[in-house]
Chain A
Amino acid sequence: DVKVTQSSRYLVKRTGEKVFLECVQDMDHENMFWYRQDPGLGLRLIYFSYDVKMKEKGDIPEGYSVSREKKERFSLILESASTNQTSMYLCASSRSPDTQYFGPGTRLTVL
């Protein structure tokens, strides 16, 4: 059974703080993805990675960066959090080009 976990279910941060969201998968998947989910906007791709140390920009990369030092772990970094980054963040992984499996999500609130 595929397992994708995220470090926090809920997170509250202040404007200007550096925020780390961690995602870990246990199925040796090559691909990992970070999305944000906002009502009426669906799932929007922030960044993705096809392999260790590789990253590609998605549709809304501004204000975010990522790190993939190990195959199983993909981190999303908000260098200086802003209130418009308050959202639900979902991580996913896949064995290319197959089904994406999602983590439980992190609801981030930036005050």
Chain B
Amino acid sequence: GENVEQHPSTLSVQEGDSAVIKCTYSDSASNYFPWYKQELGKRPQLIIDIRSNVGEKKDQRIAVTLNKTAKHFSLHITETQPEDSAVYFCAARPSQGGKLIFGQGTELSVKP
């Protein structure tokens, strides 16, 4: 079955710097890759997603890139702010059905 590996597990950056989180997946048939943000004590919420027919997607300060050949996808956050501090999860959806396989999570800390 699908397996998703996420790195790094923790990431600390200075306010204004960029942050990059990377995920690799094993099932080449996976076709949907969402990213969730979970602030302390709150529920995970979708921040951006990408489908397998697209290589890059941007939404203001966040972007996601997908390399299907290498089977990896990345989250890029530019001009980080303290409110970006949270745990970020990547996920992949195998071709059949609606279930998601999540990565282990990255705890991002943005220092003022």
Residues on A lying within 8 angstroms of B by beta carbon are 31, 33, 35, 40-45, 48, 50, 56, 58-59, 90, 94, 96-100, 102-105
Nearest chain-B residue to A95 (Cβ)?
Answer: B98
Interface residue B89 (Cβ < 8 Å from any Cβ of A): yes
Sorting the interface of chain B by its residue count into under 10, 10 to 19, 20 to 34 or 35 or more gives: 20 to 34
Q: What 4 new A-B contacts, CB under 8 Å, besides A97-B98, A102-B44?
A: A43-B91, A48-B99, A94-B98, A105-B43
Which B residues are within 8 Å of any A CB, using their own CB? 1, 6, 9, 32, 34, 36, 42-46, 49, 89, 91, 93, 97-105
| Complex Cα–Cα for A40 and B43 (A) | 17
- CB pairs A–B below 8 angstroms (18 shown): A35-B102, A40-B104, A42-B6, A42-B104, A43-B44, A43-B91, A43-B102, A44-B102, A45-B100, A45-B101, A48-B98, A56-B99, A58-B99, A90-B43, A99-B46, A100-B98, A102-B45, A105-B43
A106 to chain B, nearest CB (A): 11
In angstroms, Cα B73 to Cα A95, docked, is: 24
A50 proximity list for chain B (CB < 8 A): 97-98
Q: How far is the CB of B72 from chain A (nearest CB, A)?
A: 17
Name the A residues within 8 Å of B1 (CB-CB).
Answer: 59
